[in-house]
Amino acid sequence: MSFFGKLKDRLFKSSTRLSGGLDEIVAEAPQTPEGPKPGLISRLTEGEPKRLVDDAMLESLEDLLIQSDMGVDTAARVTANIAEGRFGRRIGAAELRGALAAEVARILNPVARPLPLYPQKPQVVLVVGVNGSGKTTTIGKLASQFRAAGKKVVIAAGDTFRAAAVEQLQVWGQRAGVPVLTAAQGTDPASLAFDALTKAQADGADLLLIDTAGRLQNRADLMEELAKIVRVLRKVDPNAPHNTLLVLDATTGQNALNQVEIFRKIADVTGLVMTKLDGTARGGVLVALADRFGLPIHAIGVGEQIDDLAPFDPEDFARALVGAGTP
């Protein structure tokens, strides 16, 4: 299956909601007290159903975009852009889909960037995010991709508190063929980070991926723990971490926006990865995120397997999200 085919397949739940909604909007005839429904007439005379772009139609469209988790502001702007040049005209579902895909792609384009690779070795990537967002899984997938690209990768199990977390990371390390540096349970994560970076340097590694704990008692604890990791890393390399990746779970919908707000205060977030886009109808939240924060989106998680981390291609994502075919 092609990249696009797989993406479309995995975004099925989100695209069903959006695409089905677009079909309904076009099929839905405006309520006119006099005479037969214009929607019916156009269907009888022209084949493809068309709908007049008027205020009622635009309101339905805006509602649909909000229901699809694009957020109120983004939904309003996208709707206004679609209205431009089309108001007062009749349009079919294919044209509406195409127009929406183009608007979504326009928002996503500036933020769709792969994780930047720097000549500095080892490049330190700190991975943060709330409990269960997919940090460990994403690290496993990233490690596998970079290793396949010929990079020497090391993983540090910075979630030292939970034994299960360390084991989970070791399983991913085996799958990816990448060593996982661990410390005894309860070790200070900052001390592990220090040792890991020192070792990665000595071994001539290209990339050090550091996993962190998602669950801490409160925000102050989390802030303190992450700040300490960064402080200690900088003793070894003043430019570390070179990237701080925030991993977000798409199934949380609009809550992902709050998580970005919070983590931007706690850590110097340089980019985002959104996971679990395969299991949710809330994929539109990615559009809201791109529009609101402008932070780079490096990749998207579309499944639990090692190959299920897709590059974030704005055109493909937009077309898959609205249920459009290949460009």
Ligand X SMILES: Nc1nc2c(ncn2[C@@H]2O[C@H](COP(=O)(O)OP(=O)(O)OP(=O)(O)O)[C@@H](O)[C@H]2O)c(=O)[nH]1
Q: Are strands 243-249 and 271-275 parallel, antiparallel or unpaired?
A: parallel
Judged by CB under 6 A, the stretch of 91-99, 124-132, 146-154, 288-296 that binds ligand X is 124-132
Tell me which of ligand X, Mg ion, none is bound by residue 301, counting a contact when its beta carbon lies within the kind-specific cut-off of 5 to 8 angstroms.
ligand X
Rounded to 10 degrees, the C-alpha dihedral 272/296/310/116 comes to -100
**Residue 225 interacting partner from Mg ion, ligand X, none (CB closer than 5 to 8 Å by kind):** none
C-alpha pair distances (Å), 301 with each of 172, 184, 262 = 15, 30, 22
Tell whether omega for the bond before 311 is within 30 degrees of 0, i.e. cis. no
Q: Which region, judged by CB under 5 A, interacts with Mg ion, from 112-120, 162-170, 257-265, 319-327?
A: 162-170
Q: How far is CA 299 from CA 38, 52, 141, 274, in A?
A: 44, 38, 10, 7
Region of 86-94, 130-138, 307-315, 318-326 interacting with Mg ion (CB under 5 A): 130-138
Task: Give the residue nearest to Mg ion (CB).
Answer: 136
- Regarding 165 and contact with ligand X (CB under 6 A), the answer is yes
Report DSSP letters for 258-319, one per residue. HHHHHHHHHS---EEEEE-GGG-S-TTHHHHHHHHH---EEEEE-SSSTT-EEE--HHHHHH
Binds ligand X by CB under 6 A, chosen from 30, 38, 92, 132 = 132
Which partner from the list ligand X, Mg ion, none does 276 bind, CB cut-off 5 to 8 Å by kind?
ligand X
Decide if residue 303 touches ligand X (CB under 6 A).
Answer: yes
Q: Which of 49, 271, 301, 314 binds ligand X (CB under 6 A)?
A: 301
Tokens of 288: 């809201």
Q: Is 6 in the site for ligand X (CB under 6 A)?
A: no
C-alpha distances (whole Å) from 38 to each of 26, 29, 41, 90, 113 are 11, 6, 5, 10, 45
Q: How far apart are CA 260 and CA 268, in angstroms?
A: 11
Residues within window 251-290 making contact with ligand X, judged by CB under 6 A: 275-276, 278-279
Number of chain residues interacting with Mg ion (CB under 5 A)? 3
Q: Determine, following the binding rule CB under 5 A, whether residue 138 of this chain makes contact with Mg ion.
A: no
| Residue nearer to Mg ion on the CB measure, 108 or 209 | 209
Residue 131 within binding range of ligand X, rule CB under 6 A:
yes
Of 42, 123, 136, 252, the one binding Mg ion (CB under 5 A) is 136
Contacts with 299 (C-beta within 8 Å, 6 or more apart), sequence order: 114, 115, 138, 142, 273, 309, 310, 311, 312
What residues contact 252, with CB distance under 8 A and at least 6 apart? 259, 282, 285
Query: Is there binding between residue 179 and ligand X (CB under 6 A)?
Result: no
| Residue from 79, 133, 145, 160 binding ligand X (CB under 6 A) | 133
Query: Does residue 93 contact residue 26 with C-beta atoms inside 8 Å?
Result: yes
Q: Which is nearer to ligand X, 11 or 100 (CB)?
A: 11
Least Cβ distance, residue 312 to ligand X (angstroms): 13
How near is the Cβ of 159 to Mg ion at its closest, in Å?
5
Interface positions with ligand X (CB under 6 A): 129, 131-137, 159, 165, 214-215, 275-276, 278-279, 301-304, 308
